[in-house]
Chains A and B, each alone.
Chain A
Amino acid sequence: MTVLDAPAPHAAPRAPADARTALRLYRAMVVGRAFDRTATAFTRQGRLAVYPSSRGQEACQTGSVLALRPTDWIFPTYRESVALLTRGIPAEDVLTLFRGDRHCGYDPAAHRTAPQCTPLATQCLHAAGLADAARMRGDDVVALAYIGDGATSEGDFHEAVNYAAVRRAPVVFFVQNNQYAISVPIAKQTAARSLADKAPGYGATGVQVDGNDALAVHAAVTEAARRARAGAGPTLIEAMTYRLEAHTNADDDTRYRSADEVAAWSAKDPVARLERTLLDDGVLDAAAVAETAASADALTAALRRDFAEPPRRDPMEMLRHVYHQPPHHLREQAALLAGAADEADGADGDGAAAARGGEHR
């Protein structure tokens, strides 16, 4: 187990972030932490089918999002709830996937945020392709794909970094190395000295950064995005961090990691750390801390209120967006769902024709 105390081999230079950026990061992290706590509480109340906690990874998620422009695209996984919230997606919509009424609770085009990806690393290719398309069109747009440490073993990760490097696509591959792929530790995932080390083999830039230092993450992603826009190709960032909760609420993390280990990483809590730094630097004072906590409380109170409403359920929606125009067999199944099947002559299997309103034998 590596706990980063000293700068890593490829550590990004820690930029002297301006006070305004630091405060935005702090606020996003405090709000994200409160959101995460509320979502975890929802799982215990049975209001969410499942929730993969972001606790401990707030610096990675807020630091990366706030380093991008609103015109840039992000490609999140299921664990990027705090990143989505930081992007400006309403809290209730962030949780739609986990509540179970829709696969994606937000408009991806409007937020320039792809739907949360559950298969591992597949979205790295989407990010590479979108970034390449933006480059071909001459747009100043960067794509950032989030993955975890486990996903770096997947073929699509390698194909994406290779493709992006060959095509000089403006994409950032942002690995949150939270030390475990569910229960499998990083030492069983790779024999590489670091995940960032994989980048040079593809002709990409590799950077390792302290993922519990929001200012360092922000600086690393800012620099990677700058390089991407300048035509220097993709950067693979390995952010060293730790997931303080289990993989999801359904996982028992005591089976694979010790309380001592979790305690050691808890001591490096990224939210407390930034708060301490900003208080020491005089960027933050007690009043601002209280004000930030109050706005986080307001957000979670609103979320609890919104979640008191029953989830939306519209069975017809399943059939509505499969094709541009529903083919006849989906129109038949829509009729079945709508209860029109009774009117169709179902007994001899000719309900199909009746539902189409046309042919009769």
Chain B
Amino acid sequence: MTPPTVTLAKALNTALRHAMREDDRTLVLGEDVGTLGGVFRVTDGLTEEFGEERCFDTPLAESAIIGTAVGMAMYGYRPVVEMQFDAFAYPAFEQLVSHVAKFRSRTRGALPLPLTVRIPYGGGIGGVEHHSDSSEIYYMATPGLTVVTPATVADAYSLLRRSIASPDPVVFLEPKRLYWQKDEVALPVDTGPLGWAAIRRPGTDATLVTYGPTLPVALAAAEAAAEHGRSLEVVDLRTLSPFDEDTVAASVRRTGRAVVVHEAHGFAGPGAEIAARITERCFYHLEAPVRRVTGLDVPYPAPLLEGHYLPDVGRILDAVERLEWPATPRTSGAAA
């Protein structure tokens, strides 16, 4: 029997539904998450099934959403909060950094905070300004937070369940442009614990390290490269912090070359940390410096310009070609 076709947004919705059915301590709160079902419909039908005390609309105040969830978690609930868009989460940044990330440490384990902060992030959907930021580095730079981002429908379900079940606070970043991506998946599904990367495509010549919104781009680049005789391995990090060095290092040691691909800014971005760790772990295996293909170092552009901002197949293939390949004759030229 063929499994049903599910969108990534529906998989997230199902994950919330299953988590709420299994544990009545699980609460969902945020702006428009009730009657409307969230602007991306990820919380669709939850108030209907679980009532207004389990899934409810808060006043329009992001710091309040996360700050009150802290109090709820202190009292034994497992809140899942929705930030409506990436850049709308910034008013809550102090709560996340000063309190959510530090509560376990400040209280020496007496008050861990099992709360999940869902943030739709990234561009590629033609959004106007403040609706397309890649904000992951801010959370990755904060000890105490676990930062997760799914790129497949199965991972969307499984990683959200794992995040809600985590005894630690999780920033769960949902790639907006993948919400409507479909796959045949029978839910529930378990794709493994947080903290582990997945090899999405095996290869032998170079490793593309990526996550979230740019996984499909990296896979398309690997497909295109294969047509030109380059075998690229694609690693999907899935959890950005803690970072799965072992899977990445093992891949790069096999291939000897690496390109980090992400939509966030390049300067002091996630790729800087990843490239540094690859260099530390794999220096004697590397045939070339680790390269990065990232969003440009500008504020996220107006929608009609985002195609120039976002990493695409061409930029990835160009970076791959700069990985100091031996000057052996090749049957066909690589795309530039």
Listed in ascending order, the chain A residues whose CB lies under 8 Å from chain B are: 102-104, 107-110, 114-115, 119, 122, 124-134, 136-137, 143, 155-156, 159-160, 162-163, 166, 317-318, 320-324, 327-329, 348-350, 352-353, 356, 358-359, 361
Q: Which B residues touch A358, using CB under 8 A?
A: 246
CA distance A247 to B149 in the complex (A): 44
CA distance A165 to B167 in the complex (A): 30
Q: Which residue of B lies closest to A128 (CB)?
A: B68
Q: Which A residues touch B109, using CB under 8 A?
A: 320-321
Contact between chains at B106 and A129 (CB < 8 Å): no
Q: Which B residues touch A103, using CB under 8 A?
A: 105-107
Contact pick for A109, options B58, B63, B77, B110, CB 8 Å? B110
Contact between chains at B59 and A131 (CB < 8 Å): no
CA distance A218 to B106 in the complex (A): 31
**Secondary structure of the A contact surface, majority rule:** helix
Q: Which B residues touch A128, using CB under 8 A?
A: 64, 67-68, 71
B330 in contact (CB, < 8 A): no
B182 in contact (CB, < 8 A): no
Per-residue A-contact encoding for B258-283, CB less than 8 Å = 1, 0 else: 00000000000000000000011101
Q: Which residue of B lies closest to A134 (CB)?
A: B75
Contact between chains at B72 and A328 (CB < 8 Å): no
Contact between chains at A104 and B58 (CB < 8 Å): no
Contact between chains at B107 and A129 (CB < 8 Å): no
CA distance A160 to B71 in the complex (A): 11
Q: Which residue of A lies closest to B61 (CB)?
A: A159
Q: Which residue of B lies closest to A141 (CB)?
A: B75
* Closest Cβ–Cβ distance, residue B241 to chain A (whole Å): 8
Tell whether A125 pairs with B108 under 8 Å between CB atoms, given A130-B75, A324-B166, A352-B280.
no
Contact between chains at B110 and A166 (CB < 8 Å): no
Contact pick for A126, options B67, B106, B168, CB 8 Å? B67
Contact between chains at A349 and B283 (CB < 8 Å): yes
Q: Which A residues touch B143, using CB under 8 A?
A: 322
Q: Which B residues touch A124, using CB under 8 A?
A: 67
Q: Which residue of A lies closest to B146 (CB)?
A: A323
Contact between chains at B64 and A322 (CB < 8 Å): no
Contact pick for B68, options A109, A134, A163, CB 8 Å? A163
Q: Which B residues touch A352, using CB under 8 A?
A: 245, 280-281
Contact pick for A322, options B59, B76, B104, CB 8 Å? B104
**Secondary structure of the B contact surface, majority rule:** helix
Interface centre among B66, B104, B107 (most CB of A within 10 A): B107
Tell whether A122 pairs with B110 under 8 Å between CB atoms, given A133-B77, A136-B53, A348-B283.
no
Contact between chains at A130 and B108 (CB < 8 Å): no
CA distance A156 to B91 in the complex (A): 10
A-B contact pairs, 21 of them (CB 8 A): A103-B107, A104-B106, A114-B111, A122-B95, A122-B98, A126-B67, A128-B64, A130-B71, A133-B77, A136-B53, A136-B77, A155-B63, A323-B144, A324-B104, A324-B167, A327-B242, A348-B283, A349-B279, A350-B281, A352-B245, A352-B281
Contact between chains at B108 and A129 (CB < 8 Å): no
* Closest Cβ–Cβ distance, residue B50 to chain A (whole Å): 12
Contact pick for B71, options A109, A126, A162, A320, CB 8 Å? A126
Contact between chains at B281 and A109 (CB < 8 Å): no
CA distance A124 to B253 in the complex (A): 51
Contact between chains at A353 and B281 (CB < 8 Å): yes
CA distance A359 to B108 in the complex (A): 31
B318 in contact (CB, < 8 A): no
Contact between chains at B59 and A162 (CB < 8 Å): yes
Q: Which A residues touch B281, using CB under 8 A?
A: 349-350, 352-353
Question: Using a CB-CB cutoff of 8 Å, which residues 88-117 of chain B contact chain A?
Answer: 91, 94-95, 98-99, 103-112
Q: Which B residues touch A348, using CB under 8 A?
A: 283-284
Per-residue A-contact encoding for B191-219, CB less than 8 Å = 1, 0 else: 00001000000000000000000000000
Q: Which A residues touch B58, using CB under 8 A?
A: 163
CA distance A166 to B283 in the complex (A): 58
B285 in contact (CB, < 8 A): yes
Question: Using a CB-CB cutoff of 8 Å, which residues 165-184 of chain B contact chain A?
Answer: 166-168
